[in-house]
Structure 1
Amino acid sequence: DNWEDHHGMFQMNLKMKTPFKLALDSGCELENVIEHLRREFLAYFISNLEFLPAIFAEYGNDVAVFEKLIKIYPQILKANSEKYTPLYYACYYQNREMIQMLFNYYVMRGDRRKKLISRLLIATKSKIKTPLGHLVLGLGSMDSDNAFDCVKVIMSVVANFHILNIIVDKMWDDVVDGGTCLRTIVRIVDRLEVDPKILDDNGRTVLSLLIMKMASNYCTESQQVLEYLLTNFNAVASVRDGKNRLPLHIACEKGLRWSCGLKNIVEANVFALEEFDDREKLLPFALSASCPSSDLNTVYQLLRHNPGIK
C-alpha cells in the first residue's frame, strides 16, 4: 500500500503492526514518513502524537528527530491513553540513545531531583512493568550488554541510584518469576561495582529488604541471593540500618524461620545474638518468640547458638 495515504497509518492490523511500522519495515526512513505526515496531514499527525514514542523507541536510531518533535510538541512526553510514557518505551526496547536524550531533557527542565526521576522509572498505577523493570529483566538475560549500558546511563544522571535496593523492594517478584535472581544480583555487583552494604535514602540495606521479602514469601531463589551476600560480603550481616537495627533483629521480628535463612544470618554474625534490639529492647530470641508467627524450633536454635548462654 502507498504509505503516503495517511488514513489509518497508526491503526494496528491483526499482526499488531500499523501501516506506519510496515512502511519502516519495508525500508522507508522514519524522518521522511514523519515529515510527510506533518507537511500534508498536520491535524491527523498531531492527533496521533501519542503513538510516536513507541515507534521511535523501536525504530529510531537518530534521536535528534524525536528531540526536535519534543520541542515542537512537548505534550508528546506525557503518558499515552494506556498510561505508558516515552521512557517506558525507551526502556522496553532498550534504546540507550533515547534514554540518554530523555534524561538530558529532564535535567534541562529542572527534574534532576532524584525523587522525580525515580518516580518516572519505578512508579506505576497498574500491573504493567515499570520502565526500570524492563531493563532489570534484561540484566539477567544471556545478552545483557545493552541493558547494562542503559542502566549506566541512568546511574550517570541519578546520583546514588540504589539499584539493588530498588530491585529487591519494588520488583523482586518479577525477577523471581524470571528465574534470574542470583545471576542478576551478581552481575549488578560485579559490572556496576555496587556495594551491597550501602543504605538507601530510607535507611534500608539490601539485606534488610531481602529479609522482609523472605519472611513474607520464602523461595529458594531468595535463599541463594541471601547466601551469596552473606558469603561474599561478611560485613553485610553487621551493618545496621537507619534505625540502628541489625539484620538479625529485623529477621527475628519479621518471623523468619531458622531453616529459611535465619541460620545463615546467625552464622554470619553470631555475636548479634547478644545484642539488644535498639527499638524493642529485646534479644533476638525474644523478638522471635514474641512474633505472631513464632516458631518453637527457631527460638530454641537462637538460644542454643547464643555464645553468652552456657
Structure 2
Amino acid sequence: MWSTFLNRNTLIVVLGTLAVTTTACTKTEPESTTSPTPTAAKTVATSPSPTPTSTPTPKTPPSPTPSSVKTSPTPTPQKSTQVKTVSTSTSSKPQPKKSPSASTPPNPNAPDTYQQAIDVASGAVTISQSAVTRDDWNLVASQWQEAIKLLKAVPNSSKNYKTAQSKLSQYQNLLGDAKLRSAPPQSPKTAPGDIKPKFFSIPIKGRRGGTPVVEITFNDTQKFDMLFDTGATGTVITPIMASALKLKPTGLTVATIADGSDVFFGLTTINTVEADGRIERKMEVAIAPQNRAMGLLGQDFYEGYDINIKDDVIEFRLR
C-alpha cells in the first residue's frame, strides 16, 4: 500500500516538475530567435495527461514582430548612402575651377630669344643717335619692331621672362617715337593752312661760328642756307634771297642788333616757308641790309616746339 502511495506521489511530483519546466520554456520562447526546442515533444510523449498544455508553442509565429523591428533600421544606412552620393557630387564641382590656367604649359625646348632682343635693341639705339632723315627713322622703327617680336617670343620657362615683359612697354614707347619721326610730311597741296606736325627735324649742313647752318625751302621750290640761332625772334632773309624770290619791301621795321645800334629792315611776305613737313604760310619776314651774307631762321617758324640740337640734326617736338 505504501509503495503504491509513494509511486503515486512520485508521479505527481514528476508531473508537477514537468509542468513548471514547460511553463518556463513557454515564457522564454518569444525572446529566443531560434525555433522551439523539441522538449515539449518529449513532455507530451512522457506525460499521458493533458496538463502539459505547453502547446502555446504554436503561437511563436508572432516572432516576426521582433524580426521586423530589427529590419526596420535598414533605411537609415540607405540615407547615409545618399548623403555620400551628394557629397561626392559636390566634391566633383570644384574640378572645373582648376582649369582656369588654360594657358599653354611652358615648353622647356623653346629657344630663349632674350639676348637676341637686347642685341637688336642696342642696334636701334645706335642708329637713332645718328638718324637724320625719315628713312633713318624708318630703319630705327623696324629695329624696334624686331626687338619687340623677340621679347614676346621669350618662353615662360626662361629666367629672363619677367625682365623681357618689363622691357616690352619701354620698347613699344621707343617704337612709337621712331614712327612719329619717320612719318612722311603732309602734302602742302592738301593742307591750305599752316602745317604743324608733332615732330620734324632739320639736318645740320655745317656750322658758322658755332651756329648750325640748315637748309630751308621758300615758296615750295627755292632752297637757301639759313643760320639757326635760338636767340633770334624773327626770320630774316638777305637781299639776294629777296631778289631770287622776286620779293619787294612792303614796310619797314627797326631792330636793335648785338652792338646796340638800331638798324632798319624792310618787311615782306613769303607764301610758304618749309622744312621737313613743317610749313608756315603767308609768313612775314625782314630783309637784311646789303652786308648780310646769310639769312636767319627765327623763333616765329618753330614757335610751340621743343628743340633738341644734336651734332648733325635739329629735332622739333610739338608741345
The answer, yes or no, to whether TM exceeds 0.5 is: no
Larger radius of gyration: 2
- Give the TM-score of the pair, scaled to structure 1: 0.25
More strand by proportion, 1 or 2?
2
TM superposition score normalised by structure 2: 0.24
User: Relative contact order (C-alpha < 8 Å, sep 6+): which is higher?
Assistant: 2
